[in-house]
Amino acid sequence: MALPETIFKLLKPRRKASGSELTREAMANIPRHVAVIMDGNGRWARKRGLPRYSGHYAGAENLREFCKWCIEFGISYTTVFAFSTENWQRPQQEVDSLMKLFLEFFARYEEELAAEGVRLRFCGETGELPQSVQDTMQRAEASSLQRNKLQLIIAFNYGGRREIVKATRDLLASCKAGELKPEELTEEHLSARLYLPDVPDPDLIIRPSVELRLSNFLLWHSAYIELWFAKVLWPDFNRHHFTAAINDYASRQRRYGGLSKEERG
């Protein structure tokens, strides 16, 4: 594997870009929870004649930057899609490099995340991951419990349908045990059985890389989510793009199937 340092050098000039600022409207209407599909790492690497895993390393570096912007803007939660339940279909070498990157990320940046006040949480079928990854997750969660600037939720071996099936199984078990009657089931009962029931639904999903789809991410939570698509690859997604996304989010009217304030009179 090429040294990640090669990738850090490639990223350095890009990090200086800052770009436009938040509007007043945006400052008054910051989303509480922003989710990101960190897509386009492979294409980023290919454009530079690098192996695919280099794109993932560059993507992980951008995640560090992204957390800083979230803290700067006052966003409380971010959920990022780092490995899907479908990603096992990729070549073994790429899967292995993603697991290795996960371990290296925490070995390298644990102190930085602590200094920034980032609490770590994970969602997905974590019990199916290599033991070393599970141990790292448990350590990161336990050691960051008291941090309160930002909750970084890493979806790892995550699939939206798998999450709903898991919640449904739990519901059926509760019904079988006589704790719940099927005719009394509500959305709240299912929500309470998702991976992280205490985390509020994301307000905004950002997907860079040109693709216009959700790819099995946060299916239950995205019922009324706002979507933002950026025509750049995730490692190139910078503070300027993020500012534009937040400004645009703030200018939208979320009606949840009802009427706007003006229409209600």
Q: Does 39 bind ligand FPP (CB under 6 A)?
A: yes
Q: Which phi and psi angles does 69 have, rounded to 5°?
A: -65, -40
| The one segment of 33-41, 68-76, 136-144, 159-167 that binds ligand FPP by CB under 6 A | 33-41
Catalytic positions:
39, 87
Site string for ligand FPP, 163-202 (x = CB under 6 A): ----------------------------------------
User: Of the two residues 47 and 254, which places its CB atom closer to ligand FPP in the complex?
Assistant: 47
Q: How far is CA 93 from CA 53, 96, 259, in A?
A: 9, 5, 51
Residues 119-158 that bind ligand FPP (CB under 6 A): 154
C-alpha dihedral, 64 to 69 to 75 to 76, nearest 10°: 30
Phi-psi region of 23 (alpha: psi -120 to 50; beta: other; left: phi over 0): beta
Site string for ligand FPP, 57-76 (x = CB under 6 A): --xx--x-------------
Residue nearest to ligand FPP (CB): 42
Find the binder of ligand FPP among 43, 64, 100, 147 (CB under 6 A).
43
Q: Considering Cα of 136, then 142, then 146, then 148, what sign does the dihedral take?
A: positive
C-alpha dihedral, 43 to 231 to 200 to 23, nearest 10°: 140
Find the binder of ligand FPP among 34, 35, 82, 167 (CB under 6 A).
82
What is the distance of C-alpha 21 from the center of its chain?
23
Q: Considering Cα of 16, then 227, then 251, then 24, what sign does the dihedral take?
A: negative
Find the binder of ligand FPP among 101, 167, 199, 250 (CB under 6 A).
101
State the residues that interact with ligand FPP by CB under 6 A. 38-43, 56, 59-60, 63, 82, 87, 101-102, 105, 154
